[in-house]
Amino acid sequence: MNAIQRRSPRAEAKAESQRERILDAAQKCFIEHGFHGAGMALIAETAGVSAGLIYRYFDSKHAIVLAIIARELEGKRAKIEELHARDDFLEAVIAKFRGWQAGEPEVMNAPLFLEMSAEGTRAPEVARAIAASDALTRQDFERWLLRPRAEGGVGMAADCARRSALLVQCLIEGLVVRAVRDPGLDAATLREALAPVFHAMGLTPGVQAAPPSPEPSP
């Protein structure tokens, strides 16, 4: 962390806005050129500040990368939460998919997601942050699947919810990859492919969950 002590809360607020300004610029650069491909000079120019000034707010480029990752992980969790706030889960997922394809800044950025995942295989601290965030995300999913339908949940049994949470997590991550690799894939085709799975899992409104067990009891 940066160790500058600031006098007034007024100054503190401005300092914080500068930090975000730099982070926003860094995020844009990292998306366009990757963590290693984007240089400090480019980040500084994008942020509209001098290169030297960045070091008043961040200790190093690596610190910026970590801050971006932390910010993105936090944002991801919030965005995933939105998925089971809507009554139609399938449509919510497809709406997010469109956002990933278009690279909209309001949703979790897909190229950054890939970059972060790859970076996790090199930097252990990144791997730990990702693992912690993923565990929380899956817990969020599981709680939603467990909650009764009357309370906006799906009303699954315990082991069923655990399995389904993992499955949905894999599927969503797969969709992020697909959005990047096939930006032209249309939503209707995707809907047709996903609908039966979500239907069978009971994620379609008004449909009870089928028991997802490998050997259905006779």
Partner DNA sequence: AAAAAATGAATGAGCGTTCATTCTTACGGC
Partner DNA sequence: GCCGTAAGAATGAACGCTCATTCATTTTTT
Alpha helices in the chain (DSSP H): 9-33, 40-47, 51-57, 61-83, 89-102, 110-120, 124-146, 158-181, 187-201
Sign of the Cα torsion 16, 19, 21, 24 reads negative
CB of 26 within 8 A of CB of 64? yes
- Interaction residues for DNA, span 116-155 (CB under 7 A): none
Cβ neighbors of 203 (< 8 A, separation 6 or more) are 89, 90, 154, 168
Rounded least distance, CB 170 to a copy of itself, Å: 4
Sign of the Cα torsion 148, 154, 160, 166 reads negative
Q: Does 31 bind DNA (CB under 7 A)?
A: no
Please give the size of the binding site for DNA, defined by CB under 7 A: 24
CB of 68 within 8 A of CB of 26? yes
Angle subtended by helix axes 158-181 and 110-120, to nearest 10? 110
CB of 73 within 8 A of CB of 133? yes
The binder of DNA chosen from 13, 20, 39, 210 (CB under 7 A): 39
Q: Specify the residue, 12 or 173, whose C-beta has the smaller distance to a copy of itself.
A: 173
Q: For the window 53-82, what string marks contact with DNA as x by the rule CB under 7 A?
A: x-xx---xxx--------------------
Q: Does 120 bind a copy of itself (CB under 8 A)?
A: yes
Q: Does 174 bind DNA (CB under 7 A)?
A: no
CB of 146 within 8 A of CB of 67? no
Q: Does 105 bind a copy of itself (CB under 8 A)?
A: no
Q: Does 154 bind a copy of itself (CB under 8 A)?
A: no
Structure tokens at 20: 């975000």
| Interface segment toward a copy of itself; rule CB under 8 A; list 11-19, 70-78, 144-152, 185-193 | 185-193
The option from DNA, a copy of itself, none interacting with 92 (CB < 5 to 8 A, set by class) reads none
Give the residues lining the site for DNA (CB under 7 A): 4, 6-8, 10-11, 14-15, 18, 38-42, 49-53, 55-56, 60-62
Interface ranges with a copy of itself (CB under 8 A): 32-37, 103, 110-111, 114-115, 117-122, 130-131, 134, 163-164, 166-167, 169-178, 180-182, 185, 189-197, 199-200, 210, 212-214
